[in-house]
Structure 1
Amino acid sequence: MVPAGLWRNRKALLEDPALAPCYAELLRLVHDPVAGDYRDAPGVETRVDRNTCMEKLVQALEGVGYIESEDLFGAPYDFRYAPAPPGEASREFSRFLSSLRVLVEQASERNGGMPAILVTHSLGGLHANVFLSRSPMAWRRSTSSWPPPALEAPCLCCGSAVPGSSSPADPLSLANTGRSFAGAFSVLPPPKVFGRAPLNYSAYDIPEYLRASGFSVDQVARYMTRVLPVTLSFGAPAVPMTCINGIGVPTPETLVYWDGNFGAKPDRVAYGDGDGDGATNIASLLSLDTLIGDDPEQGYFKFVLIRNTSHGGTISDDFALDRLVNEVLEANRAILGQFVARAS
């Protein structure tokens, strides 16, 4: 059994970097070619406990009257896994979608049939988008649907490392573990947003980039069959939506490797003309306005930028939390008004 809090337990690595190989082995995923799916390494069993990264947001919502297990609920997920297109096996993510559907329906029933508000952060935004897009439209628009939710934009770009590729001992010591995650591919640049580049690797050249980076033929094939279809299908969930993003923080846009050695640190990190939230660059953030806001099926769409706020700061900085909580309260008032009008 994997010890609770393994992902965040980096203090031990600071004290003894020799523990990194064991740490990496416990975290890695294995792709089972027979099942066509990902699972834990042999002999390892993991579970997802309550996600503490949202703790300050939970406290802020409780401060305005929300009560845990009454009208405030959590849906933690294992970030190592990722959605797969229909027809591809994805047991862990499918379990998450099923449990989230049950949670939403129970939360709605517990509160008199009122619609629910989903508040997500980072990859949670991608998961919520897939969840909504794969739910029947009638269900989305029923009492278990979502008038204006506050959704943090999903991370649509790839920074200087994939999840799990940094440690206090060596920034690249966990790179192979990060590469084993199904979710590692989900943050690669989408062709819809970045298009082609005249030189080097663009969003349309990801398979070539992965091969040049040392990924196996099978890993590249899994990107093509499991990840790219989900990325290309990303779009409007057709329920009212509010996207809240940090901006004003220097964010990598291009990584330069003069000798083509992608197993080393980049020789130069270019930040381009824009900024972002430190993890997601401005092109990714603004793309939501096009991919979702311009879709005629979407309807209500609100785009909020909070200056000088990082990716994590949107759910931890006091001024950002105030804005996020206000958006939730605004959505709740809209829900209540519609609910009362419908009842009368």
Structure 2
Amino acid sequence: MMPHLIFPLLACLCFFLASCTSPAHGETSPGLYPVVLVPCYTCSNLDARLTDEYQPPPGMPWCGAMKGKGWFRLWKNQTALQDPRLMPCYADQLRLVYDHTADDYRNAPGVETRVVAFGSTRGFGSDDPAMKDGENMFGANYDFRYAAAPPRQPSDVFDSDLSRIRDLVEHASRKNGGKPVIFVSHAFGGYLALEFLSRSPLSWRQRLIKHYLMLSRGDGGDVVILRTIASANAGPSSNVLFYANTSRSFASPLAALASPRVFGHAPLVVTRDKNYSAFELSDLLSDLGFSDVAPRYLRRALPVTLGIRAPLVLTTTVVGVGLPSPVRLTYWDGDFGKVPQVANDDGDGFMNFEVVSASRTVIDNEPDQGYFKLILLPNVTHYGVVSDDFALTRLVEIVAEINQSTS
């Protein structure tokens, strides 16, 4: 699903969650808990400003028009998306570079960025915040281009995001009489949420997290992202994330790659000459021409994927099932620029059920986890969890049950 379609879904989810945590007619209730929502991939708006160091792409001086003019919307920039002349500028300013000296990802030289309206659902692609936004509904926006690194490896932006989310949870609790928060994540937001929880002190989690509600997220990555990495033609040219391989410069796609712990030795990408399982993804990256990226994947992304742990707070996972979901891509003649043949299995149309099962296994096998519940929504898509009437009604029921729980 394209990002411009995802934004309204998150706004819809915010509205419904706010509705089920907000008393009617302005009344207050001591039993309601604040909600902190971690949105899906690309749902957080980003602003940018250009310094004198910024050099436009060759032959495109107009890309530097915003130099010295302050902050402007980088993601999602509707003007640039509708003007083919500006698309290269947009892609160039959105890309990341890897700083080998700092051993970390950075913005392109001369580009400074910030997350828009952190703490508010206003930063989810719309200037209209959810009802009760900033009172008992809060948005944990983040820079979706970055990803976690293993402990003791630099990951400045991601670590900063985690620190700000921790402060936001504490703020939400204080603003609501010291009540713990209902922590909600959707899709890729669950990757950040799980890392946030596992890297926060257990005593802090037990005191400030009432319940973790994980939507459309499993453990172990997915196969869909392989098509994006493999093919420069994985999406429409109007999508800046595919333009000039922009998304391939991000750290986050590597974090979403299929985990060997979940997918084992089953072939995920097939050609006439070679099969690639989750154990051979570094080989796939090298064969695609990303030989410099392959070592970073092995050293930075893979250890985090393999190290995903139970959140050790009360947890409910909600996912869709019953829809064909990719488990294998075939590029028989080895041309990754072509549309692959796709083999499917059961899932939510994006994430297959094997990933969901792995998440259940990881959490259930942790003796200190306590409460965990997996809720399957038949024939509900990855994004339909936050848009379909049936799914939204079920989410309202779940959050209402959490509010009424005394555990």
Whether the TM-score (by the shorter chain) exceeds 0.5 is: yes
Query: Using a 3 Å threshold, how does the CA distance of structure 1 residues 71 and 319 change in structure 2: closer, same or farther?
Result: same
Aligned to 2:403: 332
Q: TM-score, normalised by structure 1?
A: 0.85
Query: Using a 3 Å threshold, how does the CA distance of structure 1 residues 169 and 105 change in structure 2: closer, same or farther?
Result: closer
Answer yes or no: is 1:35 the counterpart of 2:35. no
What SS does the corresponding residue of 1:250 show, helix, strand or coil? strand
Q: Name the CA distance, whole Å, in 2 between partners of 1:7 and 1:162.
A: 20
- Contact kept in structure 2, 1:166 and 1:175, CA below 8 Å: no
**In the TM superposition, what whole-angstrom CA distance separates every residue of 1:133-161 from its partner, at most 9, and x where no partner exists?**
1111111112x1x2332112436203032
- Contact kept in structure 2, 1:240 and 1:298, CA below 8 Å: yes
Query: Using a 3 Å threshold, how does the CA distance of structure 1 residues 240 and 173 change in structure 2: closer, same or farther?
Result: closer
Identity %: 46
Query: Using a 3 Å threshold, how does the CA distance of structure 1 residues 55 and 299 change in structure 2: closer, same or farther?
Result: farther
- Contact kept in structure 2, 1:278 and 1:311, CA below 8 Å: yes
Answer yes or no: is 1:239 the counterpart of 2:313. yes
Aligned to 1:83: 148
Answer yes or no: is 1:69 the counterpart of 2:134. yes
Q: Name the CA distance, whole Å, in 1 between partners of 2:85 and 2:323.
A: 34
- 1:241 offset after TM fit, Å? 0.4
- 1:20 offset after TM fit, Å? 3.2
Aligned to 2:30: none
Q: Name the CA distance, whole Å, in 2 between partners of 1:16 and 1:44.
A: 21
Q: Name the CA distance, whole Å, in 2 between partners of 1:54 and 1:306.
A: 27
- 1:11 offset after TM fit, Å? 7.0
- Contact kept in structure 2, 1:248 and 1:275, CA below 8 Å: yes
- Contact kept in structure 1, 2:147 and 2:252, CA below 8 Å: yes
Q: Name the CA distance, whole Å, in 1 between partners of 2:104 and 2:342.
A: 34
**In the TM superposition, what whole-angstrom CA distance separates every residue of 1:90-122 from its partner, at most 9, and x where no partner exists?**
111111111111111121122222111111111
- Contact kept in structure 1, 2:222 and 2:257, CA below 8 Å: yes
Q: Name the CA distance, whole Å, in 1 between partners of 2:78 and 2:353.
A: 30
**In the TM superposition, what whole-angstrom CA distance separates every residue of 1:52-80 from its partner, at most 9, and x where no partner exists?**
36999x85xx4xxxx22121111101110
**In the TM superposition, what whole-angstrom CA distance separates every residue of 1:222-269 from its partner, at most 9, and x where no partner exists?**
11111011001112111110111122332221111112233x033311
Query: Using a 3 Å threshold, how does the CA distance of structure 1 residues 167 and 22 change in structure 2: closer, same or farther?
Result: farther
Q: Name the CA distance, whole Å, in 2 between partners of 1:248 and 1:55.
A: 35
The aligned runs of 1:194-273 (5 Å cut-off) are 194-197=263-266, 200-217=275-292, 219-262=293-336, 264-271=337-344
Amino acid corresponding to residue 215 of structure 1 in structure 2 = F
- 1:162 offset after TM fit, Å? 4.7
**In the TM superposition, what whole-angstrom CA distance separates every residue of 1:311-333 from its partner, at most 9, and x where no partner exists?**
12111222211211221221122
Q: Name the CA distance, whole Å, in 1 between partners of 2:339 and 2:258.
A: 17
Amino acid corresponding to residue 255 of structure 2 in structure 1 = S
Amino acid corresponding to residue 208 of structure 1 in structure 2 = D
Aligned to 1:342: none
Q: Name the CA distance, whole Å, in 2 between partners of 1:211 and 1:312.
A: 32
Q: Name the CA distance, whole Å, in 2 between partners of 1:26 and 1:222.
A: 22
Aligned residues: 322
Answer yes or no: is 1:7 the counterpart of 2:75. yes
Amino acid corresponding to residue 240 of structure 1 in structure 2 = L
The 10-residue stretch of structure 1 (31-40 or 288-297) with the greater mean CA deviation from structure 2? 288-297
Amino acid corresponding to residue 270 of structure 1 in structure 2 = A
Query: Using a 3 Å threshold, how does the CA distance of structure 1 residues 224 and 244 change in structure 2: closer, same or farther?
Result: same
Q: Name the CA distance, whole Å, in 1 between partners of 2:348 and 2:126.
A: 17
Answer yes or no: is 1:44 the counterpart of 2:121. no
Gaps of 5+ in 1: 339-344
Query: Using a 3 Å threshold, how does the CA distance of structure 1 residues 172 and 44 change in structure 2: closer, same or farther?
Result: closer
Q: Name the CA distance, whole Å, in 2 between partners of 1:54 and 1:298.
A: 36
Amino acid corresponding to residue 300 of structure 1 in structure 2 = Y
What SS does the corresponding residue of 1:283 show, helix, strand or coil? helix
Q: Name the CA distance, whole Å, in 1 between partners of 2:170 and 2:240.
A: 43
- 1:5 offset after TM fit, Å? 4.9
Aligned to 1:188: 257
Query: Using a 3 Å threshold, how does the CA distance of structure 1 residues 99 and 291 change in structure 2: closer, same or farther?
Result: same
What SS does the corresponding residue of 2:112 show, helix, strand or coil? coil
Give the one of 122, 135, 156 matched to 2:200: 135
Give the one of 236, 256, 263 matched to 1:167: 236
Which protein is richer in helix relative to its size? 1
Q: Name the CA distance, whole Å, in 1 between partners of 2:125 and 2:76.
A: 10
Which protein is richer in strand relative to its size? 2
- Contact kept in structure 1, 2:351 and 2:382, CA below 8 Å: yes
Give the one of 171, 181, 191 matched to 1:106: 171
- Contact kept in structure 1, 2:95 and 2:107, CA below 8 Å: yes
- 1:304 offset after TM fit, Å? 1.0
Q: Name the CA distance, whole Å, in 1 between partners of 2:252 and 2:301.
A: 9
Amino acid corresponding to residue 243 of structure 1 in structure 2 = T
Q: Name the CA distance, whole Å, in 1 between partners of 2:239 and 2:212.
A: 40
Amino acid corresponding to residue 215 of structure 2 in structure 1 = E
The aligned runs of 1:134-153 (5 Å cut-off) are 134-142=199-207, 144=208, 146-153=209-216
